[in-house]
Amino acid sequence: MNSILNATFPFVLFCGVLTICVSLFIHSFFLFLTLELQTKFMKMFPRAIGIKLIIPSILLSTFLFVVSSVIQILIWAFLLMLFGSFANINDALYFSSTTYTTLGTGIHVLVPPFRLLEPMEAATGMLVAGLNTAVLFSILSKVAKRNARIDDLLN
């Protein structure tokens, strides 16, 4: 464990990039699952329009995005705990949550070379938020095609 605490910059960089890749793989899986379930939902209820289609679509998508984000935050917190940056899981989760969402409270500050992980986690969170927005827009566009009044709002 002592060798992990004395990690070098290249090793921390490698671990951060690897964690970004794992995070994006997990999120890609959840994005695929979201789109697949949305397609199945629309096929199961072909006559659903308006609020009966929009609410379940948004709730399902948002729920899956939150699950994906929580898993990613847990992975980042585990990495921080592995490096010995935090003494307890509560602080690691809090730091990871605020960093991933780019809130960044400044209560905890990582020491070099682990500081590199903070912007890497924040960049992952920003990228995921953009992907979530794109997928939600895609889902709402599909929903709008079923309802002329909603379609008018999007055009």
Structural domain spans, the chain: 20-37+63-154
Fold of the 20-37+63-154 domain: Helix Hairpins (1.10.287)
Give the three-state DSSP class for 83. coil
114: which DSSP letter?
G
Helix locations, 83-116, DSSP H: 89-100
Chain segment 99-155, per-residue pLDDT in tens: 999 888 878 888 888 999 999 999 999 999 999 999 999 888 887 777 666 555 555
**pLDDT digit string (tens) for 7-64?**
788 999 999 999 999 999 999 999 999 999 998 988 888 887 777 788 888 899 999 9
